[in-house]
Amino acid sequence: MSEQLVFTRPEVLADVATHYCPGCQHGVVHRIVAECLEGYGLVEKTIAVSSIGCSVFLYNYILVDTVEAPHGRAPAVATGVKRARTDAFVFTYQGDGDLASIGMAEIMHAANRGERISVIFVNNTVYGMTGGQMAPTTMVGQKTTTCPGGRCLEREGGPIHMSEIIATLGGVAYCARTAVNTIKNIAQTKRAIRRAFETQIKGEGFGFVEVLATCPTNWRMSSVAANERVGKEMIPEFPLGVFKDAAKEE
């Protein structure tokens, strides 16, 4: 009886052991991005921009030209790259501490201008690389190293909902929030990233996909418990869905 190979690694995804913590879902998102790049035939013309944080190691796993931007400045760097190389496909890959805190100005203005770039935003509600501090997306009651008693609504305010904010800006062609905690949600994430890439390919405007993901190490949880938290706590706080698709609205 012969075997039939039905699941292979995308060629653009490096065949290396991951350095990410057990249960971290960056690797899942990497694979989806790699599949979408290959699916659209973009590998040879892609320039990625990663910023500071766990997301920066994108260049170790997706084999495309990559620029490392200063903390939070990936959308600004990507803007320069795309304007200088209009023939290139340009995307950023950022975490929530990076994009929604020090990079808030950059992401807002790039989106508002309608820059022809695609942004993959991995939201795990905490600063990962720097030690588990409270991030702009940390949920009320969630404990971190800088709010060990849990985020307090009266003292720190509530978590920022980036997708809802980005969707209100005029230059945005596509904006969605997904997750990678279940097979169904992984499939939805791939559809969303494909659509965000498509907006750039067709010159429609700015594409943005927020992906809810785990950080078991800084959440002080097992991989299984962290994955369950996405469904039980994160998705109720950050509802999944497409917040804007200009092509369909037209």
Alpha carbon 205 to its chain centroid, in Å, reads 18
Which letter, b or e, does each residue of 185-223 get, where b requires 16 or more Cβ atoms within 10 Å of its Cβ?
bbebbbebbebbbbbbeeebbbbbbbbbbbbbbbbebee
Kindly indicate the confidence band of residue 8, based on its pLDDT and cuts at 50, 70 and 90: confident
Provide the mean pLDDT of the chain: 96
Per residue in 202-242, pLDDT (tens digit) is 999 999 999 999 999 999 999 999 999 999 999 999 999 99
The predicted pLDDT at position 250 comes to 67
Q: What is the mean pLDDT of residues 179-191?
A: 98
Supply the pLDDT for residue 3.
85
Q: Return the pLDDT at 93.
A: 98
Q: What is the pLDDT of residue 37?
A: 98
How much is the pLDDT for 7?
Answer: 80
Q: Is the pLDDT of residue 2 over 90?
A: no
Which tens digits make up the pLDDT trace of 76-135?
999 999 999 999 999 999 999 999 999 999 999 999 999 999 999 999 999 988 888 999
d(CA 250, CA 248): 5
Q: What is the pLDDT of residue 176?
A: 98
Q: What CATH number labels 25-248?
A: 3.40.50.970
Question: Percent of the chain at pLDDT above 70?
Answer: 99
* Rounded (10°) angle between helices 183-201 and 26-39: 50
Tell me the pLDDT tens digit for each residue of 150-177.
999 999 999 999 999 999 999 999 999 9
Q: Which residues contact 176 (CB under 8 A, 6 or more apart)?
A: 163, 192, 195, 196, 208, 209, 210, 241, 242, 243, 245
